Amino acid sequence: MKKLLSGNEAVARGAWEAGVVLGTGYPGTPSSEILENLKEYEGVRAQWCVNEKVALEVASGASWAGARVLVTMKHVGLNVASDPLFTLAYTGVKGGLVIVVADDPGLHSSQNEQDSRHYARAAKLPMLEPSDSREAREMAKLAFEISEEFELPVLLRLTTRVSHSRTIVAPGERGEISTPFACIKDPKKRVMIPAYARLRHRVLEKKMERLIRYAEDAPCNRLEEGGGEPGIITSGISYQYCKEVAPDASYLKLGMVYPLPIGTIENFVRSSEKVFIVEELDRFLETEIKAMGMEVTGKRPEYCLGELNPDRIEALLREKSESTSSSPPIPVRPPVMCAGCPHRGVFMVLRKLKLFVTGDIGCYTLGTLPPLSALDTCLCMGAGVGQSEGFRTVLPAEDREQVVAVIGDSTFIHSGITGLIDIVYNGNGGVVIILDNRTTAMTGRQPHPAMGVTLRGEETTATNLEEVCRAVGVRRVRVMNPHDLQGMEDFLKESLPLVEPSVMIARAPCVLLTRGEEPRPYRVDLDTCVACEQCLQTGCPALVKLPDGKVRIEGFLCTGCGVCAQVCPVEAIGEYIRQDEPR
């Protein structure tokens, strides 16, 4: 029966039909739902790993034992996994290994909009790119076939708009899994010492030559002779946008974006008066095709930025600059930390102490926005810890005390632990704050190793964050309540001047995890309130400014965290007991 599936659901379905027995990955928008869906299927083990590098390493082991494995991550996750990736191209695989990488053109929820297609060329691996959910399912299956035929990992590239659009899919049945899985010794293929790696590099180049020939007849590359002009070479979601605005054009629709079918492209270019290359982000296809010596029309520089859509493509095909809309500005609605978010109290203290805060990737990155304005860097997963060390290493002694690092619990496990070891090893002091809200909140509350629960909801041994910190050599480790502003302030003032490093674990569950528990909302006593607006500096969405400057608390939003009450200078805010009766 036909179903409406998101691109992510369709990839999970296709992988399951292809006989996948293991799925690994690390959560990251827009890729997270793939494994969350895969776990629902029989006969497959889906698991979150510590980070993307580990996910790919686990997958390579299973593949070498003969199993089909799916690995999922967002675009920046592939940077983390790139070390095993490049050498895995040399060793090759046994059981099909497909790496899903989900790019985020337009930065809906990312720190950059890198184009992951470059990885295919750089690592010399085939890459497929679907343009809707139907193709996502089909190409997931095809990717496993290509992977086993060429003994190579295959990259399956999605973008946010394909991952999170729902289109019609006709699901099929699961294929037979016949191979017995085993350890087979084959050091010349599996041990990449220079002598063996030289040989494998040669094998890889031969495989690429075969893949170029394969691309000429690949079932996912499609010629659509509309009989009209212009000719358009495109792939992924851009194909759908093009069809919307130029239904009569002739198309070479590439499902395999690397390597490219040279002969097919030559024929197509020759048969059209004018050929456009339409692609989101970088000029990847354009560069490749122009390097083949063909005359094609690419795009103006502005179309390398952000997400495309039918309107932009219409302008692109007219070789015009984009028109800028002149409509009156509508107030923006930026995302905010939830009412009761345990990060808010920490940022109130950091702001009060006027510290320089090296930050990281997670909900807490929102701490940079006004009114909190208390987070000063965000580079990549785990970076805040190392950055604090860098600042402190070169700053004059009297300025070192102002630097503090913040990092989430899941992010700390992903890649913050190594930075902390570096601080200890290189004799740097300072404070690292682990914002431990007991989940991977930003990407949709996935479990992580310190929670003692797996993706499938089974209990497992929990990584103890305090013991990890002590084990790497930090002696000052303190677990604190992030709603206790004075306590955190005291600890920071005491710790920042020390030559030895300290870790403050600010621990309270994400409010989205405790939703449904009986909240104890606070209220403002309007007779006491002096309209000083100190509480509004918390940026809590439960606080509403009244016309006279005083403040009211939205009872249905307030969780009773008490942070606003602690910053109120006149004690006007208290726990709600009965109407008109503050305690």
Partner 1 sequence: MPEKATSIILTGVGGQGVLLAARILSEAALRSGLDVKSSEVHGMSQRGGSVLAQVRFGPRVYSPLTPKGTGDYLLALEELEALRYCALLKKNSRIMMQRCRILPSPVIAGFTPYPEDSVALLREEGYRVSLMNEDEVGTSGSARFANVFLLGMLACHLQFSPEVWREVVLNAVPERFREQNRQAFEKGRTIL
Q: Which positions lie near partner 1, rule CB under 8 A? A: 2-4, 29-30, 108-109, 132, 160-161, 164-168, 237, 240-241, 243-245, 247, 309-311, 314, 325, 327, 330-338, 363, 366, 369-371, 512, 536, 539, 541, 543-545
Q: Give the residue with the Cβ less far from partner 1, 395 or 536.
A: 536
b/e burial code for range 207-221 (CB count within 10 A of at least 16 → b): bbeebeebbeebebb
Q: Give the residue with the Cβ less far from partner 1, 224 or 467.
A: 224
Beta-strand relationship, 543-545 and 231-235: unpaired
Instruction: Supply the minimum distance, in Å, between the C-beta of residue 271 and partner 1.
Output: 23
Instruction: Supply the minimum distance, in Å, between the C-beta of residue 344 and partner 1.
Output: 12
Structure tokens at 437: 């809200």
Instruction: Supply the minimum distance, in Å, between the C-beta of residue 120 and partner 1.
Output: 25
Instruction: Supply the minimum distance, in Å, between the C-beta of residue 19 and partner 1.
Output: 28
Q: Give the residue with the Cβ less far from partner 1, 132 or 148.
A: 132
Instruction: Supply the minimum distance, in Å, between the C-beta of residue 541 and partner 1.
Output: 6
CA torsion sign for 285, 278, 129, 74 is positive
Instruction: Supply the minimum distance, in Å, between the C-beta of residue 508 and partner 1.
Output: 17
Q: Give the residue with the Cβ less far from partner 1, 77 or 92.
A: 77
Instruction: Supply the minimum distance, in Å, between the C-beta of residue 92 and partner 1.
Output: 36
Which alpha helices (DSSP H) does 404-473 contain, by range?
409-411, 417-425, 465-471
Q: 334 preceded by cis ω (within 30°)?
A: no
Q: Compute the residue count for the chain.
A: 583
Q: Give the residue with the Cβ less far from partner 1, 8 or 91.
A: 8
The rounded distance, in Å, linking the Cα atoms of 228 and 239 is 16
The rounded distance, in Å, linking the Cα atoms of 334 and 378 is 18
Dihedral class, residue 215 (left if φ above 0, else alpha if ψ from -120 to 50, else beta): alpha
Beta-strand relationship, 356-358 and 403-408: parallel
Q: Give the residue with the Cβ less far from partner 1, 4 or 191.
A: 4
Q: Give the residue with the Cβ less far from partner 1, 4 or 199.
A: 4
Q: Give the residue with the Cβ less far from partner 1, 50 or 513.
A: 513
The rounded distance, in Å, linking the Cα atoms of 229 and 250 is 6
Is residue 431 within 8 A of residue 405, CB to CB? The reply is yes
Strands (E), 397-482: 403-408, 431-436, 476-480
- What dihedral do alpha carbons 489, 491, 495, 496 form, nearest 10°? -10
Instruction: Supply the minimum distance, in Å, between the C-beta of residue 283 and partner 1.
Output: 22
Burial of 100 (C-beta count, 10 Å sphere; 0-12/13-18/19+): buried
Strands (E), 22-107: 22-25, 45-48, 69-74, 97-103
Instruction: Supply the minimum distance, in Å, between the C-beta of residue 367 and partner 1.
Output: 13
Q: Give the residue with the Cβ less far from partner 1, 4 or 498.
A: 4
